Amino acid sequence: MKNYQTEQIRNIALVGNSGSGKTILAESMLQIGGVINRKGDIASKNTVSDYRLIEQENGNSLYSTVMYTEINNTKINILDNPGMDDFVGGLVSSLFPADIAVMLINTANGIEVGTEIHGRYVEKAEKPMVIVMNHLDHEKTNFEKVFESIHETFGGNAVLVQFPVNAGVGFNSIIDVVTNKMYTIKGTEIVISDIPAEHADHAEEVKTQLIEKAAEADESLMELFFENDTLTEEEMMRGIAAGLPQRGIFPVFCINARNDLGVKRLMEFIANVCPAPNKLPAHVNKEGTEIKCDPNGKPSLFVFKTSIEEHIGEVCYFKVLSGTLTESIDMYNPKTNTKERLSTLFVNAGKNRVKVDKMYAGDIGATVKLKGTKTGATLVAPGEDWEMPAIKWPNPKYRVAIKAVTEGDDEKLGEALNKLKDDDQTILVEYSKELKQLIVQGQGEYHLNILKWHLDNQFKIPTEFSRPKIEYRETITKTAFADYRHKKQSGGAGQFGEVHMIIEPYTEGMPDPVMHKIDGKEYKISVRAKDEYDLEWGGKLVYYNCIVGGSIDARFLPAILKGIMEKMEEGPLTGSYARDIRVCIVDGKMHPVDSNEISFKLAGRNAFSNAFKKAGPKIMEPIYNLEVLVPGDRMGDVMSDLQGRRAVVMGMSSEKGFEKIMARVPYAEMATYSTALRSNTGGRAMYEMSFHEYQQVPPDVQEQLLKEYEAEDDDE
């Protein structure tokens, strides 16, 4: 394959809602570029993009796929991305190497939630965008209405380059106001002709709007526009090219990807007008230094994706940030402090790889057999020592507890999960010491069901999911006193320790204790020493030595603290972590021979447990902020569902054609939310969650939790 220079490279990410036609557009582009001889289709399970068995079984793109095509002496690298929110990680990783986002819209459905989601990510990444209206041959197509909704969603920078002659059933022609031509599909041929007279006025009107928007991108063009009331075709193209990197213009194209109408013209626009990698703002490393996209610079690359491929192993996909890569080049990984040799360089068309001997700055490629380089790694020239910032992945929305059906598979399960999360960075895996469960988190139920499919089928490890426990917290609401004597005599040296303590709720900034009145009895507090401990699970323990007269030797106080800490790690109510408690050790007894650390640890532990149960104990639950973006016609169903989940609605607003609900909801009620939301809205809504705080559970919920914990204890 030819080695393409930086100026000859274009990097595009195909984005948009599931069903908008991204995979078929990619097929069409690859066929036009001569990379494949015949287009595949989703029903026949033979597309270049959806080549994995699980994608073919499900009929959906689940992973981003790297491909390329060629036109007009230009190489177009294509990153096809899944449209479902559950698999948004593919989009996030693709937006790093992509220089232009190509947003596909299913004109039969208009702006969908997936369109909005992907649009947000593209905007956040500050990527230029080209909008493509597909499925214009559908009976439900309403071109004018959908273009209006594009304006509502993406603003006035969306401007037509083309419009359909006969959108709807029988659609076969588009008019392009840049080339001033009409493109008509006849059989399998695209016929190019002059614009018919009956469409000339509308074409002129559309072209004027495009010229005005192009002129806004450059002051000199604006002056020419004011002087001449128009721009030449060359000036207009210059304005579009200048406006794209600034996101000042979103050119809108019309295609039918199934029969190739408009696809070659779109490719020509990408090759001729869209910016090469070195014409866009440079990537900036962690130190804030720009990495110029210069083929003559020192070689560097960023790994934006890794994938486990059958018969090959791990494949690392990268973008060349600077310099020129050659086969067997030695690179350095600053994160792992190791040398990596790129033994082979590939360009990809799905699972098909083409070997190349050289790659220039701005290009996208792949390599295999790297030792310790994963997604998010930077490789630099030996002697260099800088890294790119990490990709920011979306927060998880759904979680399950997972275990191997066969106990002997536990180690294999851990290894397999590590490989799968390397492949998909939106999967989080951790063993919760608190819950005593292996927890897997992802973007939704469907997302984690796909992970389970891989474990069961690819790794041959039968697994089962269960509902994870909730990280409750325990605390107290009033002051209490308790004492406990630990005494044990067994022939030899005995054990003796007695501890008297007062516990009370802790709040930030409260003064040190002076006096406590408990059950009619007054306790004068004389603070000898104070220690504050920030608990790793949140909250605080404040520990006071208030011993008067040496009733307990100071050397036993750390043992008492250890006993208290042990009980806080396994709260007296449900075994959850306890937090925000103040403990005063006020008195006790010791024995000159039998007292030791273990005696005082046990005495402290049991005194704390007894005091806790008398101090108005409460269970606290995690509360999350929730934002739901929902179509207006489904608001009632979504609100009703949230009410059933103990949610408190904090506010509502409208955002780009959707209704936004802001609520606070107990995490315990969110286990099935992604599935319920999809069901209630036909997959047209999305949501985001983030931790807010811990709050006390309602009395009926606490009673139920206590019963469940007692029943669990009885079973054990």
Which CATH number characterizes residue 324's domain? 2.40.30.10
Give the burial class of 187: count Cβ atoms within 10 A of its Cβ; 0-12 exposed, 13-18 middle, 19 or more buried.
exposed
Residue 581 and residue 475 in contact, taking contact as beta carbons nearer than 8 Å:
yes
Q: What is the pLDDT of residue 635?
A: 92
Spatial CB neighbours of 450, under 8 Å, sequence gap ≥ 6: 54, 58, 62, 86
27, pLDDT greater than 90: yes
User: Are residues 511 and 575 located together in one domain of the fold?
Assistant: yes
DSSP 8-state secondary structure symbol assigned to residue 456: I
Q: What is the pLDDT of residue 604?
A: 96
Is 217 inside any structural domain?
Answer: no
Mean pLDDT of 50-75: 93
Mean pLDDT of 639-665: 92
Is 521 inside any structural domain?
Answer: yes
User: Are residues 488 and 589 located together in one domain of the fold?
Assistant: yes
Mean pLDDT of 271-278: 96
User: Are residues 28 and 165 located together in one domain of the fold?
Assistant: yes
User: Are residues 593 and 627 located together in one domain of the fold?
Assistant: no
Mean pLDDT of 131-156: 94
CATH number assigned to the domain comprising residue 180: 3.40.50.300
Is 645 inside any structural domain?
Answer: yes
User: Are residues 181 and 76 located together in one domain of the fold?
Assistant: yes
- Identify the H or E element spanning 367: strand 364-368
Is 168 inside any structural domain?
Answer: yes
Among the three residues 592, 616, 640, which one is the final residue of a domain in this structure? 616
Rounded Cα gap, residues 47 and 56, in angstroms: 9
Q: Give the predicted TM-score (pTM) of the model.
A: 0.85
Task: Report angle CA 707, 709, 714 to the nearest 5 degrees.
Answer: 95
Among the three residues 599, 616, 633, which one is the final residue of a domain in this structure? 616
521, pLDDT greater than 70: yes
User: pLDDT category, 501, cuts 50, 70, 90?
Assistant: very high
Q: What is the pLDDT of residue 508?
A: 92
The length of the chain in residues reads 716
User: Are residues 105 and 40 located together in one domain of the fold?
Assistant: yes
Strand partners, 229: none
User: Are residues 271 and 246 located together in one domain of the fold?
Assistant: yes
Rounded Cα gap, residues 399 and 442, in angstroms: 6
- Of 105 and 494, the structure prediction assigns the larger pLDDT to 105
User: Are residues 505 and 432 located together in one domain of the fold?
Assistant: no
Is 562 inside any structural domain?
Answer: yes
Domain containing 376 equals 288-380
User: Are residues 494 and 580 located together in one domain of the fold?
Assistant: yes
User: Are residues 346 and 429 located together in one domain of the fold?
Assistant: no
180, pLDDT greater than 90: yes
Q: 329-347 pLDDT, tens per residue? A: 999 999 999 999 999 999 9
Nearest-10 Cα torsion for 33, 35, 39, 40: -140
User: Are residues 89 and 178 located together in one domain of the fold?
Assistant: yes
Is 561 inside any structural domain?
Answer: yes
User: pLDDT category, 672, cuts 50, 70, 90?
Assistant: confident
Q: 424-473 pLDDT, tens per residue? A: 999 999 999 888 899 999 998 899 999 999 999 999 999 999 999 999 99
Distance, CA of 702 to chain centre = 33
Q: How many CA atoms lie within 13 A of 90 on its CB side?
A: 22
CATH number assigned to the domain comprising residue 402: 3.30.70.870
Is 226 inside any structural domain?
Answer: no
Mean pLDDT of 606-621: 95
The total of structural domains in the chain comes to 5
Is 452 inside any structural domain?
Answer: yes
User: pLDDT category, 549, cuts 50, 70, 90?
Assistant: confident
Residue 470 and residue 402 in contact, taking contact as beta carbons nearer than 8 Å:
no
Residue 573 and residue 706 in contact, taking contact as beta carbons nearer than 8 Å:
yes
Mean pLDDT of 129-155: 94
Residue 320 and residue 345 in contact, taking contact as beta carbons nearer than 8 Å:
no
Among the three residues 581, 599, 616, which one is the final residue of a domain in this structure? 616
714, pLDDT greater than 60: no
User: Are residues 351 and 414 located together in one domain of the fold?
Assistant: no
CATH number assigned to the domain comprising residue 497: 3.30.230.10
CA distances in angstroms from 514 to 354, 483, 511, 525, listed in the order given: 78, 20, 9, 5
Spatial CB neighbours of 489, under 8 Å, sequence gap ≥ 6: 495, 594
